[in-house]
């Protein structure tokens, strides 16, 4: 295969790496928001529901998706949540107003049901619990940890046993609140207020269970006026008592500027690098040898500016909210965001796709009906399956295009992961909407001899999507022509495409 001058190139060498991939980079998020829980993962009476009311068709898709850590119960929801409402006999649980989303919460699904859901996904699914530091505080967080994790012999651990969960849940990963910098957050706090509360809560939780991993709230968005100053202030209080700091980011096409939307990962890369720099600056100020890592525990494509096509009245139960339908274009941007997370595997310990079912999600369901995969399902599932190992240092040389928001941006966005058996998977996005992009990869010392396969997600219609009527309109397809000869991989990336090239 000969390649023209309009070609992207990079070199792979196993001696030049970014770092190992933490499996929790392929996490997700279940919030009591819209239909994520009710008629999403949980629908008693559905033809596919098991004895616990969990939808087995959804469970099958979640396993196929490859989700690891799952964050719960919010999100904005957690800042007004009483965890006690979601435990014990379901018939005795109170109905509450949820101020975050102006809906009514039945509490039919709570902590025990969530842990049962994770057990049915499989041993790879780890809980990531958030505590309410909006309307509640240290005492309630301590009580939740005791209820969840203490073996027995105390009032709260005994209550868990009485509720039917004899064995402790053993939850290791905890978020100290959610988006506490946001004006939309119930119980919003200043950086000084939150930093002190988070530090006090962290110390108290470690007194109960020293082995916990704790996440401090970083900025809810890079574009907030408090960004970076928030992190610096919060971490000055919490640096030595937490393990990770959170980042949240969502992307959408605005005013028809598709070229900038396709380059969303430029913003995400800068966000990560700036938070890392802030963490390391705080460490230097504190003379600390500790290296803080990041929890990118909310990320996705989310069309926040679009009106809800399913209008609802306040205080409904589980209305249709945030049910974005994703196109091929969205899936390509989504894949580029996944590439960004992998490219920073040395500092990202956890990442959670928000969310898992129905709400800006890769999986959709119909109440009483089927479940299906959105276009974004496929990049996540492929990355979760083939993105395990060590990320190689990929520095592409690529043709570029002009964007309004980010200036000149490379057409190629790529990374590569080397598995324990020496095989390598290249993940690549072609941002060019019109032309194919030839790719040439020099392989040095990799010991690779053949192309296992080249899969692409692309379509002649960039607006193509999967729906209830056409659940398999968009699926990845195999691409012919990729070849490995004399230590060089040559392939062609279709226009506007997400690509997975596997080498062995």
**343 closest CA partner among 276, 261, 254:** 276
Handedness of CA 16, 18, 23, 25 (dihedral sign): negative
Rg (CA), the chain: 23
Q: What distance in Å separates the CA atoms of residue 284 and residue 279, rounded to the nearest whole number?
A: 9
Asked if 172 and 211 count as a contact pair (C-beta separation under 8 A), the reply is yes
Give me the residue label for tokens 């842990």.
115
Asked if 356 and 28 count as a contact pair (C-beta separation under 8 A), the reply is yes
**89 closest CA partner among 62, 106, 108, 114:** 108
Asked if 453 and 462 count as a contact pair (C-beta separation under 8 A), the reply is no
176 CB burial (10 A radius; 0-12, 13-18, 19+): buried
**Helix 229-238 to helix 191-208 angle, to the nearest 10 degrees?**
30
DSSP state of 462: T
Q: Which helix (H) or strand (E) holds 278?
A: helix 264-285
**445 closest CA partner among 20, 11, 19:** 11
Asked if 297 and 351 count as a contact pair (C-beta separation under 8 A), the reply is yes
Catalytic annotation, pick one of 179, 237, 253, 494: 179
Asked if 64 and 18 count as a contact pair (C-beta separation under 8 A), the reply is no
Ramachandran quadrant class, 308 (left: phi over 0; alpha: psi -120 to 50; beta: rest): beta
Asked if 71 and 28 count as a contact pair (C-beta separation under 8 A), the reply is yes
Q: Please give the full DSSP string across 127-159, using - where no structure is assigned.
A: EEEEE--SS--HHHHHHHHHHHH--SSSHHHHH
DSSP state of 243: S
Q: What distance in Å separates the CA atoms of residue 350 and residue 274, rounded to the nearest whole number?
A: 17
DSSP state of 92: G
To the query of whether residue 179 is one of the catalytic residues in this protein, the response is yes
Catalytic annotation, pick one of 126, 140, 269, 298: 298
Asked if 332 and 262 count as a contact pair (C-beta separation under 8 A), the reply is yes
Asked if 474 and 459 count as a contact pair (C-beta separation under 8 A), the reply is yes
DSSP state of 283: H
Cite the active site residues.
179, 298
């Amino acid at each position: 295969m000969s390649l023209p001058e309009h070609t992207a190139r990079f070199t792979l060498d196993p001696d030049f790496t970014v770092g190992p991939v933490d499996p929790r980079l392929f996490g997700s998020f279940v919030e009591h928001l819209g239909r994520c829980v009710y008629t999403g993962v949980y629908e008693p009476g559905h033809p596919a529901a098991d004895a616990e009311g969990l939808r087995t068709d959804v469970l099958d898709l979640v396993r196929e998706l490859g989700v690891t850590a799952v964050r719960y119960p919010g999100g904005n929801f957690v800042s007004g949540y009483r965890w006690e409402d979601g435990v014990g006999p379901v018939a005795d649980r109170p109905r509450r107003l949820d101020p975050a989303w102006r809906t009514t919460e039945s509490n039919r699904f709570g902590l025990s049901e969530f842990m049962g859901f994770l057990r049915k996904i499989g041993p790879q699914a780890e809980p990531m619990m958030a505590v309410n530091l909006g309307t509640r505080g240290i005492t309630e967080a301590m009580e939740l940890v005791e209820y969840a994790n203490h073996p027995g012999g105390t009032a709260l651990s005994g209550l868990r046993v009485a509720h039917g969960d004899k064995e402790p849940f053993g939850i290791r990963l905890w978020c100290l609140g959610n988006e506490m910098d946001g004006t939309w957050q119930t119980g919003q706090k200043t950086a000084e207020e939150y930093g002190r509360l988070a530090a006090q809560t962290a110390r108290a939780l470690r007194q109960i269970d020293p082995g916990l991993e704790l996440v401090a709230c970083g900025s809810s968005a890079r574009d907030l006026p408090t960004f970076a100053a928030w992190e610096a202030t919060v971490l000055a209080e919490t640096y030595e008592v937490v393990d990770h700091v959170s980042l949240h980011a969502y992307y959408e096409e605005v005013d028809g500027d598709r070229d900038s939307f396709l380059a969303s990962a430029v913003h995400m890369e800068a966000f990560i690098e700036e938070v890392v720099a802030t963490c390391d600056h705080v460490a230097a100020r504190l003379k600390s040898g500790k290296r803080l890592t990041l929890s990118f525990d909310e990320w996705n494509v989310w069309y926040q500016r679009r009106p809800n096509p399913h209008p609802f009245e306040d205080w409904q139960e589980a209305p249709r909210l945030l049910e974005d339908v994703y196109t091929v274009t969205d899936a390509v941007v989504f894949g580029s965001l996944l590439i960004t997370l992998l490219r920073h595997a040395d500092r990202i310990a956890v990442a959670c796709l928000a969310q898992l079912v129905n709400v800006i999600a890769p999986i959709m369901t119909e109440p009483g009906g089927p479940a299906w995969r959105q276009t974004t399902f496929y990049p996540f599932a492929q990355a979760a399956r083939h993105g395990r190992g060590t990320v190689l240092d990929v520095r592409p040389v690529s043709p570029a295009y002009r964007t309004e928001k980010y200036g000149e941006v490379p057409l190629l966005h790529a990374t590569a992961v080397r598995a324990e058996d020496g095989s390598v998977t290249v993940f690549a996005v072609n941002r060019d909407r019109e032309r194919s992009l030839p790719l040439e990869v020099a392989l040095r010392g990799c010991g690779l001899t053949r192309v296992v396969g080249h899969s692409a997600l692309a379509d002649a219609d960039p607006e193509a999507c999967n729906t209830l009527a056409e659940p398999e309109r968009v699926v990845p397809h195999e691409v012919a022509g990729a070849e490995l000869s004399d230590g060089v991989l040559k392939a062609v990336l279709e226009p506007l495409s997400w690509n997975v090239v596997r080498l062995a």
